[in-house]
């Protein structure tokens, strides 16, 4: 497993250590989704190490996302976020998929957000960018499916990450859980388990699908 990071190398190394502890092969690569040269280098490093790329998970987003009302969004900020997210996914897939095509097998998994469907307030650039990823994924499914490459989206809502546990008050988390049909907030493991399935041979023919992992929260609006 190749684990990418933008600035938090220590966090990436910690994840790689966990993979090694269970017998996996893992290393870390610096990756900037807004820099095409960085993307090219990261993809080539993986190919040089393993000879191919079997599974690509696009999970990166800008680290400085913040809520901002629509009327206050500046054009430069809009372009930075929308283009940064969409262009990064586009270029990473375009650079990586030839190795999958040559192997007649591959899995592309793009991590999205329920913001793309429910219209999260004050998150217009992010929601727009993620909705675009849905469209791109469906095109990839149509164009690449015959080469043995399956492309899908995993769409979480709020996830109980360490950051959210620190920043979102418990009362707010409880309110979100109450609004969720399953009465549970999605955990990182919920997301990871779905990614593992979609990226494995067990996924024999799921292609071009937006898979929610929200406990049904995306159905509430």
Q: Catalytic site residues?
A: 126
Rounded to an integer, what distance in angstroms lies between the CA atom of residue 16 and that of residue 209?
Answer: 29
Q: How far apart are CA 101 and CA 112, in angstroms?
A: 24
211: left (phi over 0), alpha (psi -120 to 50) or beta: beta
- Candidates 161, 186, 185; CA nearest to 174 is 185
Q: Is 106 helix (H, G, I), strand (E, B) or coil?
A: strand
**Displacement of CA 178 from its chain's centroid (Å):** 26
What are the residues facing 5 on neighbouring strands? Answer: 30
* Backbone φ and ψ of 49, nearest 5°: -75, -45
Beta partners for residue 152, in sequence order:
109
């Amino acid at each position: 497993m190749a684990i990418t990071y933008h600035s938090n190398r220590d966090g990436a190394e910690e994840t790689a250590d966990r993979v090694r502890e269970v017998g996996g092969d893992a290393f870390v690569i610096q990756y900037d989704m807004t820099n095409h040269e960085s993307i090219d280098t990261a993809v080539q490093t993986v190919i040089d190490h393993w000879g191919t790329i079997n599974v690509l998970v696009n999970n990166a987003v800008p680290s400085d996302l913040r809520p901002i009302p629509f009327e206050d969004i500046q054009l430069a900020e809009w372009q930075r976020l929308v283009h940064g997210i969409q262009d990064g996914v586009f270029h990473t897939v375009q650079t990586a998929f030839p190795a999958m095509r040559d192997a007649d097998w591959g899995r592309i998994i793009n991590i999205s957000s329920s913001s793309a469907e429910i219209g999260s307030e004050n998150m217009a650039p992010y929601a727009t960018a993620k909705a675009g990823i849905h469209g791109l994924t469906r095109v990839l499914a149509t164009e690449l499916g015959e080469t043995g490459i399956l492309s899908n989206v995993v769409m979480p809502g709020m996830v109980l990450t360490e950051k959210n546990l620190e920043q979102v008050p418990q009362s707010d988390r409880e309110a979100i859980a109450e609004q969720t049909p399953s009465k549970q907030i999605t955990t990182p493991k919920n997301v990871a388990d779905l990614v593992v399935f979609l990226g494995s041979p067990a996924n024999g023919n799921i292609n071009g699908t937006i898979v929610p992992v929200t406990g049904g929260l995306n159905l509430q609006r």
